[in-house]
């Protein structure tokens, strides 16, 4: 059985750690790696799309990152309880025509005993931005510890 610490029940500190680990994983833009944080039968609603299981998650993320180029994500804990974590997030990306976007959203997740997310509901809005309005400047991969978070950026 795969265990992805931290595991429930969550404290403020473990919820913050769990969310940062998820952010780090998503910023790799490696669908197979990201999918391992979810149960084999995980159920997602992402925007208007319903996704089931790791195979579906991997296919979804592959499509997503083929379209959302130079993706950079920041997540922040909004609320938590023993098994659930609510997150607000923003990410920046551009499409193949060079148009930049900042996508804002909320994500609600429920975790099993092994720390795998079994249910995920995400709502996301895309806002076109000028390249000069970008705020997420770091090399591809993990956001540096000294880079401002969402609250620090006023988002």
Give domain limits for the chain: 12-137+146-153
What mean pLDDT do residues 89-100 have? Answer: 98
pLDDT of residue 151: 97
Residue 67, SS3? helix
Measured CA to CA, the distance from residue 122 to residue 120 in angstroms comes to: 6
Task: Kindly indicate the confidence band of residue 1, based on its pLDDT and cuts at 50, 70 and 90.
Answer: confident
pTM (two decimals): 0.97
What mean pLDDT do residues 10-18 have? Answer: 98
Domain 12-137+146-153, CATH number (from 1.10.10.10, 3.90.1310.10, 3.10.450.50, 3.90.76.10): 3.10.450.50
Measured CA to CA, the distance from residue 155 to residue 150 in angstroms comes to: 5
pLDDT of residue 106: 98
Nearest to 89 by CA among 46, 40, 140: 46
């Amino acid at each position: 059985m795969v265990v992805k610490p931290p595991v429930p029940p969550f404290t403020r500190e473990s919820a913050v750690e769990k969310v940062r680990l998820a952010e780090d994983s998503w910023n790799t833009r490696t669908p197979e790696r990201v999918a391992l944080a979810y149960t084999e039968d995980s159920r997602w609603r992402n925007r208007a799309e319903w996704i089931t299981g790791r195979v579906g998650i991997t296919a979804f993320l592959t499509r997503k990152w083929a379209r959302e180029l130079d993706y950079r994500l920041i997540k922040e804990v909004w609320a938590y309880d023993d098994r659930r974590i609510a997150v607000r997030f923003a990410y920046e990306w551009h499409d193949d025509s060079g148009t930049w976007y900042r996508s804002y959203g909320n994500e609600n997740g429920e975790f099993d005993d092994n720390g795998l997310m079994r249910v995920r509901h995400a709502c996301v809005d895309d806002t076109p931005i000028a390249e000069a309005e970008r705020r997420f400047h770091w090399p591809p991969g993990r956001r540096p510890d000294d880079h401002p978070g969402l609250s620090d950026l006023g988002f």
